[in-house]
Amino acid sequence: MTDEDFTEYLTECIEEQASDLYILPKDNMYQLSYHSKLQLTTLAEVNREKGIQMINFFKYRANMAVSEHRRPQVGSLKWHSESNLDEELNLRLSTVGDFNGDESMVIRFIYSLENLDQHELIDGQIEALNQIGAKRGLMLFSGPMGSGKTTTMYQLARRYSQHQVVMTIEDPVEIEEDNFIQLQVNQKANMDYEELLKVGLRHRPEVFVIGEIRDSKTAKMAVQAALSGHLVMATVHAKNVYGVIQRMQQLGIEDHYLAQTLSGICYQRLIATTDDQMAPLYDILADGQLSMALNEANLETGMTKDWGRHLADLVETGRITRKTAQTFQAG
C-alpha cells in the first residue's frame, strides 16, 4: 500500500464531509469506514499488514510513537485537500490497542467554518437564535454527538465577531476560525475549562463559546460570566431542552441563577431531506416558554410542541419523508 492509497482514502472522506475515519481490526483484516450524514460507510477492507502500515504512516506524520501499540495515544497533523490544495485541514488522531494487542485508529476531520454548509430546515430558526444571543446571558445547546452543535454556535459567534471579541474554550478545538481567540483545554498543563474561563474573563471578550459544560465548576463559571454581562454559548449533554435545565440543576446551579442568566436553550438534530442532504432542525426554548419551564415544579419531559409541528410541516411540504419524521418524533 502506497502513500497515494492513503491520500485517496482521505480525499474520499473529505469529499463526503466525513467527520471521522475509522481504521479498525476485524478478524484477521482491517476495516476502513467513515462517518458521514449520520451513517457509517465502509470504505475498504485491507489485510492486516496493510492496515498496520496505514496506522503507522499516520502515526509517523503526527509525531506519535510508532513502536507503541497498546497504550492510548493522541496526535494531530495538517493535511492538504487534493480537491483544493489551498485548503489545509487539521486532523486529530487517536489510537489504542485492544486486549489482543491489535491497534485501532480514529481520525477526526477538522473543517474550516466556510466548508461546513449547514442550512436550516425551518426558515427563521437561525435568526431566532441570533436574536436570543443578542440578549446576552447563557445560551445552551444540546443534541447527540455529530448533530452540528459546534457549527451552530460558531455560525452565531461569527456574526457577533464583526463588532465584538469572541473567545472559545474547547477540548479540543473542532473548527479553526481566524476571527476568534481560541483556547484549548490541556489537562497536563492544568489548563481545564475552569482555569481557561478565569483567564478568559481577564481578556474581557464579549462572547464566550464553551465546548462543553461537564462539571459543576465549569457550570458555575459559565453562570458567573453570564451574570457579568457576557454572552456565553455552551453545550450540555441532555436529551431535550427541558433536560438541559435538569442537567444544570444537577450540576448545582440554583433556580434563581438559572432564571437570571438563561436566555435560551436549543436542542438540535441533523435530518436527512428528500434531496439527500443533511440539515439541522432546532427545538428552541426561550422567552415566555423558558420562563414557564423554569417556574414549573414538575418540569416537562420530551420535545416542545413546536418540534412536532415542524416535523409535520416538513412532511407536508415534501422536505422530509413521513418515515424520517417518525424517526425524529421523540428527538
DSSP secondary structure string for all residues of 103-138:
EEEEEEEE--GGG-----SSTTHHHHHHHHHHT-EE
Specify whether 208 is located in the same domain as 267: yes
Print the domain residue range for 77: 3-110
Domain count, the chain: 2
140 domain residue, yes or no: yes
Q: What's the CATH number where 258 sits?
A: 3.40.50.300
161's CB contacts (< 8 A; 6+ apart) are 179, 180, 207
The per-residue DSSP string of 313-331 comes to: HHHHTTSS-HHHHHHTTT-
Q: What is the residue-level pLDDT of the chain in tens, covering all 331 positions? A: 667 788 889 989 988 888 899 999 998 999 999 988 668 899 999 999 999 999 999 999 999 999 999 899 989 888 876 655 566 788 989 999 998 889 999 999 887 776 665 678 999 999 999 999 999 999 999 999 888 898 899 999 999 999 999 999 988 887 888 899 999 988 888 898 888 988 888 889 999 999 899 999 999 999 999 999 999 999 999 999 999 999 999 999 999 999 999 999 999 999 989 998 889 999 999 999 999 999 886 777 899 999 999 999 999 999 999 999 999 999 9
Specify whether 17 is located in the same domain as 96: yes
116 domain residue, yes or no: no
Specify whether 265 is located in the same domain as 136: yes
Specify whether 86 is located in the same domain as 146: no
Domain edge (last residue) among 77, 110, 143:
110
Specify whether 275 is located in the same domain as 309: yes
166 domain residue, yes or no: yes
Specify whether 46 is located in the same domain as 189: no
